Amino acid sequence: MSPMSGFFTRLADRCRQADSLLCVGLDPHPADLAEPTAAAARAFCLHLIEATADVAAAYKPNAAFFEALGPEGWRVLQEVIATASAEAPVILDAKRGDIASTAEAYARAAFERLRVDAITLNPYLGHDSLTPFLADPQRGVFLLCKTSNPGAADVQDLLLAGPPAEPLWERVAALARAWNERDNLGLVVGATYPDALARARERAADLWILAPGCGRMGWVC
């Protein structure tokens, strides 16, 4: 695997190597920990990485659970990312979304400080909010398109006037294709909506899709 290859090339290489499309969420929910501490979160995540190292196509730590543990949680997140990166690409589940210098700061935090391979972003501030994250083709971005929560329909299913008329989330998929200038942009479509997943694949056949499941496991395809 060339160190200069783009993010999705590296992800595809890992999928072939592991013969898997499995994306493992690293989400140290307090209820799943022996105690509500950063040390317990570290032990939980490292055990999960060890148990899935041969089958994981990617790992997806959720920043919120680590940030909630304070400064020590941030240090644990860095260690978890470093450990997971030795096995497979790491996608930071942060769902960032902002503009200008704030977006640039978020991008530096993810790619330079935490050194993740990719990040999830909220696209609803438009293309300029994504630009700092898309500048390096070796770093990937997954845009929230059709998310798995029940309330997603409140906004994402709003019907836009045509022609053709289409739900907002389908317009996001179409925009993502146009914005994918460096082949490092994909979509997030919840596996809880298989019909939407199929439609997203039709609208954006050339984009990778991150499909979170109901639990910690999801897929990249």
Give this prediction's pTM: 0.95
Q: Where are the beta strands (DSSP E) in 87-134?
A: 91-96, 118-121
Q: What is the pLDDT along the chain (221 residues), one digit of tens a residue?
A: 344 579 999 999 999 999 999 999 999 999 999 999 999 999 999 999 999 999 999 999 999 999 999 999 999 999 999 999 999 999 999 999 999 999 999 999 999 999 999 999 999 999 999 999 999 999 999 999 999 988 999 999 999 997 889 999 999 999 999 999 999 999 999 998 999 999 999 999 999 999 997 667 788 88
Instruction: Please report the pLDDT score of residue 1 as a whole number.
Output: 37
CA 118 to chain centre: 6
What are the distances in angstroms from CA 47 to CA 39, 60, 77, 85, 162?
12, 15, 14, 15, 50
Domain ranges of the chain: 7-220
Looking at residue 29, its amino acid is: H
Q: Say how many CA atoms lie within 13 Å of 28 toward its Cβ.
A: 29
Report, at the CATH architecture level, how domain 7-220 is classified: Alpha-Beta Barrel (3.20)
Instruction: Please report the pLDDT score of residue 214 as a whole number.
Output: 61
Of 75, 95, 171, 216, catalytic: 95
Active site residue 95: yes
Q: Which residue intervals of the chain are DSSP H helices?
A: 7-18, 38-52, 63-67, 71-85, 100-108, 131-134, 153-156, 168-179, 194-203
Contacts of 13 (CB under 8 A, 6+ apart): 1, 5
CA-CA-CA-CA torsion for 71, 74, 80, 82, nearest 10 degrees?
-110
